[in-house]
Amino acid sequence: KQWYQRRVAITAGITCGEMALCGDLVQAHGSEWALLKRHHTEDIFGVQICGNNPTMTSKACELINSECDVDFIDLNVGCPIDMVFNRGAGSALMDRATKLEQILTGMVHVSDIPISVKMRIGTSESKLTGISLCERLKKTGISHITIHGRTRQQRYTKKADWEYINKCKEAADPITLVGNGDILSYEDYNESQKFTDSVMIGRGALIKPWLFSEIKQQKHMDISSCERMEMLKKFTRYGLEHWGTDTSGVEKTRRFMLEWMSFLYRYIPVGVLEVLPQKINERPPYYHGRDETETLMCSDNCQDWVKLTEILLGKVPDDYNFLPKHAANSYSK
């Protein structure tokens, strides 16, 4: 996510920016370059780019090398959304191994910054190409490979396949293989260590920004509604610092906060859970929180999220409406 959102979960040792499109970077679109911004509190920071053309991806790498302060550049070969896939980028490149090799070889050639790639286990269950790609891509000079344990077809449904990730680790040897998928507790993290060299956490950190602290301390943290509200206050402050305090800045901060809340509401407080740990794709039955604010925070009703933003950012117009845009916040079907 953007830097002001990553600051809320800054206990992570390594952070990475949101995916930026190579074409827009080369054409100097300001909104795309904003995705590459690093905050000074981020110790090890990488950026992620997406493209389908070796010339364009190499040019984007050259620009990032000359203009940005980053520690690695990651090529997204996992994005499942139709707009990206239909252009032959993102997870579509998993079915075009030769072109993917050309793209990565070109990026490595022009970059002084380490290059990595993030992908899925395949585009569908009948096309599990992750293992064969690891065997080929490790020869391109990249620093590491990250594997999300689902196919493009599965998106974020079903469980991540860590057994397959482990086979990818063996195929990628001797370079580092980073596993990704479904980690929402320190137990999930500990279990993942059996299958991979390292772990990347995405949705889990959006649902529980304190997840990295739980992993380091090896314990569940019962975060109260007051503590969670303080995180939202931080986000508000960071957002207004970034976007400005005028009407436009307030509404942009509100919109990004609401998108984040479409993940945050899925957290079930430790003090409410009957069985630990919470699993990322288990939809809980309706429940009341331990106070009114916690009940609003656990609601799946977008209008309740809007009420929370009004506490921090003021009233919205009577006809205000919000629908989350990210499919990644959905439960398994």
Q: Which long-range contacts (CB under 8 A, 24 or more apart) does 221-229 make?
A: 221/270, 222/269, 222/270, 222/271, 223/267, 223/269, 223/270, 224/269, 224/290, 224/294, 225/289, 225/290, 225/291, 225/293, 225/294, 225/297, 226/293, 228/264, 228/294, 228/297, 229/293, 229/311
Determine which one of 22, 50, 61, 79 is catalytic. 79
| Catalytic annotation present for 79 | yes
Burial-class residue 13 by CB neighbours within 10 Å (0-12, 13-18, 19+): exposed
Q: Is the dihedral of CA 4, 29, 75, 139 positive or negative?
A: negative
Query: How far from chain centre, in Å, is Cα 124?
Result: 21
Instruction: Find out whether the peptide bond into 277 is cis, omega within 30 degrees of 0.
Output: yes
Amino acid at 316: V
Contact 182, 277 (CB under 8 A): no
Active-site residues: which are they? 79
